[in-house]
Amino acid sequence: MIFRGMVSHLNNLTDNEMRIIYRFGRDSIAYICNIVDDKLRRSTAKKTALTVEQQVCIALRFYASGSFLQVIGDTMGYDKATVSRAVNDVTNALLDVKDNFIQWPKDINSKNRMKCGKFTNISANWPGSTHDSHIFNTSNLCHYLETNNRGLADGLILGDSGYACRPFLMTPYLNPRERHQQRLNRAHSSTRSITERAFGILKRRFHVLHSEVRMKPEKVCRVFGACAVLHTIALTRNEPLEDVCGVNVQQDQPVQVPNFEGEQDGRHIREHIARVFFN
């Protein structure tokens, strides 16, 4: 038997209870429903057709719990096929609006508005065996930076030693011998850990990303993208994490870095930064 009473029970939940189950409060769920409404609304008069809110809540429960589709259906009163279809449709709808929420900061104002833990670019198109540097080198972000980066004034991205050191991508020294090189490496490591924490926050918010997702790889990529969109929405709408995920998110203050007028290659720029700021 299929039950269709899920929406009415939302009225009996507090915002905190809704965040535990769906990771979003009532107003934020309404906001998400609004931005995907035109893609999910069914053009049918059938009483059994799912509403936009029902589809969104099914998908949010899946992202938040990471449970089997069958388990999601059993606990919410739907069959597995219905849950699978709702998750697929909501995922696709969120990806259709991805560029409205995940945007690379192209000016100083957008950089200053960035929050710790907020994703500004994602590339989820490759299997896990693909080397990180190859993923980056073939990404739209890399192509954009190669064309548009104007030096240190535009800021830097940080990568580990698996990447090539480039004017816009700083990597640590492989064999730091001098004091300023060692200090840069320490600062590089502690700063790059913010990225690792961002992924940790994302996975704590959406447990589906914690372990193996039992779907085809291309669907897994899409689920990750949808979770990244929802994570950005959650941060923008100040959805709390402390009680739900045990994580407190703080915003970093922007740092102004003077430009470098010397040879514009990664290693020279890295040495300039190390000598100016870490001597």
For residue range 215-269, list pLDDT tens digits in order: 888 899 999 999 999 999 999 999 987 544 444 545 555 556 666 777 888 999 9
- pLDDT number for residue 28: 96
Does 1 fall in a domain? no
**Is residue 194 located within the same domain as residue 252?**
yes
Does 252 fall in a domain? yes
Does 103 fall in a domain? no
Does 262 fall in a domain? yes
Which of 66, 96, 126 represents a domain boundary (last residue)? 96
- pLDDT number for residue 93: 98
- pLDDT number for residue 242: 58
Global model pTM greater than 0.75:
yes
Which of 96, 123, 140 represents a domain boundary (last residue)? 96
Does 63 fall in a domain? yes
**Is residue 79 located within the same domain as residue 211?**
no
Can you give the residue range of the structural domain that contains 17?
6-96
- pLDDT number for residue 4: 46
Q: Are 116 and 252 in contact (CB under 8 A)?
A: yes
**Is residue 216 located within the same domain as residue 184?**
yes
**Is residue 59 located within the same domain as residue 144?**
no
Q: Are 172 and 269 in contact (CB under 8 A)?
A: no
**Is residue 214 located within the same domain as residue 147?**
yes
**Is residue 175 located within the same domain as residue 226?**
yes
Decide: helix, strand or coil at residue 223.
Answer: helix
Does 102 fall in a domain? no
Alpha-carbon span 21 to 167, nearest angstrom: 44
Does 247 fall in a domain? yes
**Is residue 92 located within the same domain as residue 120?**
no
**Is residue 161 located within the same domain as residue 267?**
yes
Of the candidates 157, 151, 187, the one whose C-alpha atom is nearest the C-alpha of residue 170 is 157
**Is residue 21 located within the same domain as residue 43?**
yes
**Is residue 76 located within the same domain as residue 168?**
no
Question: Which two structure tokens, joined as six digits, stand for 242?
Answer: 């402390």
Does 112 fall in a domain? yes
Which of 96, 130, 152 represents a domain boundary (last residue)? 96
Of the candidates 200, 165, 203, 198, the one whose C-alpha atom is nearest the C-alpha of residue 184 is 165
**Is residue 147 located within the same domain as residue 33?**
no
Of the candidates 234, 195, 238, 196, the one whose C-alpha atom is nearest the C-alpha of residue 94 is 234
- pLDDT number for residue 108: 67
- pLDDT number for residue 202: 94
**Is residue 117 located within the same domain as residue 216?**
yes
pLDDT by 10s per residue, the chain, length 279: 344 444 556 788 999 999 999 999 999 999 999 999 999 987 766 667 899 999 999 999 999 999 999 999 999 999 999 999 999 999 999 999 999 999 998 776 776 666 668 899 998 888 778 888 999 999 999 999 999 988 887 888 999 999 999 999 999 999 999 999 999 999 999 999 888 888 999 999 999 998 778 888 889 999 999 999 999 999 999 998 754 444 454 555 555 666 677 788 899 999 999 998 998
- pLDDT number for residue 115: 60
Q: How many domains does the chain have?
A: 2
